[in-house]
Amino acid sequence: MSNLNNPTNNNKTGFQVAIAVLFVFLLVAIGGIYHFSNESNTHAHKTVQLKSALSELNDERLGLEAEVSQLTTNYDLEIEKNTALEVKIVDAEEKIKGLKGRISKIKRALSKTKISNEEMQQRIAELNTSKEELFAEIATLQTNNKDLTVAKESLDVELAVVNDENTQLTAQVEDLNAQNTKIQARLFTLAPAGFQATRFQIQIADKKEKLTTKAKQARAIKVDFDLANIPTALQKEHEIYLVVTDGEGIPVKKIASTPMDVPTANGALKVEVAGVETITLNANQKISMAFQPTDKMDAGLYNVALWSNVGYLGSAAFSLR
């Protein structure tokens, strides 16, 4: 009763209670602050851990994406390879089918053509004989080839000599033609027939009637020429005389001839005629005359001259080797 009635004690007690309450609040506040600080630190730590984990996961994701891309590329390549292999397999199967078919045909053929061991040995012996014969023939051909090579070399040498002779004869023919031109100009003046022989072609044939230029092979000599632009007054029957001389103008003894007179401005000229043709002349005509040697001709230059009963017609040269 005394305490309740004492105002001082009551105030003191209330103050103590207030301090106690404040202290409790202070403890609670400190605890809350401490707890909040710990929670904050924990949350920050967890945030760092999460960020690190997210970074690792992102790296892992990028790595997985790269692997998936590579696998996709590899898959596409494998698909292409597989397709190519399928084509090859199909081709191989077709080839195998073809080979099987060929094998079957061969087996069928073998079954139809089976021969005994004796027959096989006989065929082998025949083949060996044929082989030996072929070897012998090849050896003969090789020997012949060597002989032909030697003959070719000899012919090459002979050809070179002939070419030289031909060159010399050509030069001589040109000289003779030049001389003939001068002689013809003089003869046309001394013994003009009123027309001329042109376009001479001289062909020498052997005994088989093949053309040749070799003196010893000459068996027939044909002279072709044209008589053109014959004046009307002279278009009648004429005698054409063929005269053959060597390069010096001397009659050839190995050609049968008959001495005859031909007209000139200074009177008759005696010539050795190897052939005579009696022809009725038109305005234009082609004429052929020929003669045969009585013996083998000598190599050298020759001259063919044509005369008529009215005068000189023309001449041409040829050579024999």
Q: What is the per-residue pLDDT across 261-297, written as a single tens digit (0 to 9) for each? A: 998 878 888 999 999 999 999 999 999 999 999 999 9
Q: How confident is the model at residue 19 (pLDDT cuts 50, 70, 90)?
A: confident
Residue 84 lies in a domain: no
Question: DSSP letters along 141-206, please?
Answer: HHHHHHHHHHHHHHHHHHHHHHHHHHHHHHHHHHHHHHHHHHHHHHHHHHSB-SS-EEEEEEEEE-
- 8 Å CB contact between 229 and 276: no
What tokens does 284 get?
């234009």
Residue 131 is predicted with a pLDDT of 67
User: Does residue 301 have a pLDDT over 70?
Assistant: yes
Q: Does position 7 have pLDDT exceeding 70, yes or no?
A: no
Return the minimum-mean-pLDDT range out of 39-48, 57-66, 245-254, 307-316. 39-48
How large is the average pLDDT for residues 195-206? 94
Please tell me the predicted confidence (pLDDT) of residue 150: 77
Question: Which residue blocks in the chain are alpha helix, DSSP H?
Answer: 7-112, 117-190
Q: Where residue 201 falls among pLDDT bands split at 50, 70, 90?
A: very high
Per the model's pLDDT, the better-predicted residue between 314 and 139 turns out to be 314
Determine, yes or no, domain membership for 291: yes
Contacts of 312 (CB under 8 A, 6+ apart): 184, 187, 188, 190, 191, 192, 193, 262, 264, 305, 306
Contact 198, 226 (CB under 8 A): yes
- pLDDT of residue 197 exceeding 90: yes
**Does the pLDDT at position 220 exceed 60?**
yes
Please tell me the predicted confidence (pLDDT) of residue 1.
47
> Which band of pLDDT confidence, cut at 50, 70 and 90, is reported for residue 234?
very high
User: Mean pLDDT of all residues in the chain?
Assistant: 77
pLDDT band at 200 (very low <50, low <70, confident <90, very high): very high
Sheet of strand 311-320, all strands in order from the earlier edge strand to the far edge = 258-264, 267-280, 237-246, 300-308, 311-320
The whole-number pLDDT of residue 277 equals: 94
Q: Has residue 190 been placed in a domain?
A: yes
Q: What is the CA radius of gyration of the chain?
A: 66
**Total count of residues recorded for the chain:** 321
pLDDT category, 129, cuts 50, 70, 90?
confident
Q: Name the residue among 263, 259, 257, 265 with its Cα closest to residue 307.
A: 263
Residue 284 lies in a domain: yes
pLDDT per residue as tens digits for the range 96-115: 677 677 767 766 665 655 55
Q: What is the pLDDT of residue 190?
A: 58
Lowest mean pLDDT among 70-74, 138-142, 182-186, 195-199: 182-186
Cα–Cα distance, 244 to 250 (Å, whole number): 8
Show Cβ contacts of residue 120 under 8 Å, excluding neighbours closer than 6 positions.
Answer: none
Q: Is the pLDDT of residue 78 over 60?
A: yes
- CATH number of the domain within which 258 lies: 2.60.40.3880
Number of folded domains in the chain? 1
Q: Tell me, what's the pLDDT at 243? A: 96
Tell whether the model's pLDDT for residue 241 goes beyond 80.
yes
When pLDDT is averaged across residues 183-200 and rounded to a whole number, the result is 74
Confidence of residue 242 (pLDDT cuts 50, 70, 90): very high
228 is a domain residue:
yes
Instruction: Compute the average pLDDT of residues 254-263.
Output: 92
Q: Which domain holds residue 277?
A: 177-320
Question: By percentage, how much of the chain surpasses pLDDT 70?
Answer: 60
